[in-house]
Structure 1
């Protein structure tokens, strides 16, 4: 059922993207700097692309910037989770060590008494 919804969503998304692309086929000029600044600096970088390419590139760039922003923002949470996992592993090892140490007698006299009780 979930697979069907995913296929349906992707199909509708593709139809919407094709509709936007076909409605915005006119060519536009993308410039790195305003014309006045191009003339002042002597740099003139521009490219002619269909409008829908500029729209889709803007969407992809926005998603990429948002992804990087969130990755940096959540770094402290990932570090805290890693520290908690490290502490949990350390505590599990300590519990296992204490379980095994509990079975061995701590004193020679107790070991002798335990031996007599086992033999009696």
Structure 2
């Protein structure tokens, strides 16, 4: 299984290296269109190799997707926390009832509970 994992990551690494070698040309990345930058007198831009821009775009997309999924699952996590609190409360109640039943000196838990309530 480890061999398959290593082969998989080696193939991924080789593909990333090939993409980087094929896209080495320098591109200009602008934060706003040229006309708007000229109008405002500022033009924030940076020159990077194309593969860096591609990798940053993929990374930003992954981070946005992870954040979106984390926010979407908030309700599920809140429900799970509520259920865990309920289970713990019920577990404590069962332990208390078992302790009370042991004090009644009965071999049957159901009979001890009936004697306690009746």
Q: Do Structure 1 and Structure 2 share a fold, with TM-score over 0.5? A: yes
2:9 matches 1:15: no
TM-score, structure 2 normalization: 0.85
Aligned pairs, number: 104
State the partner residue of 1:61.
60
In structure 2, runs of 5+ residues without a counterpart are: 105-118
Structure possessing the higher radius of gyration over alpha carbons: 1
State the partner residue of 1:71.
70
State the partner residue of 2:43.
44
Find the residue that maps to 1:83 and give its secondary structure.
helix
Q: CA RMSD in A?
A: 0.8
In structure 1, runs of 5+ residues without a counterpart are: 106-120
Displacement of 1:104: 2.2
Displacement of 1:103: 2.2
State the partner residue of 1:6.
5
TM-score, structure 1 normalization: 0.84
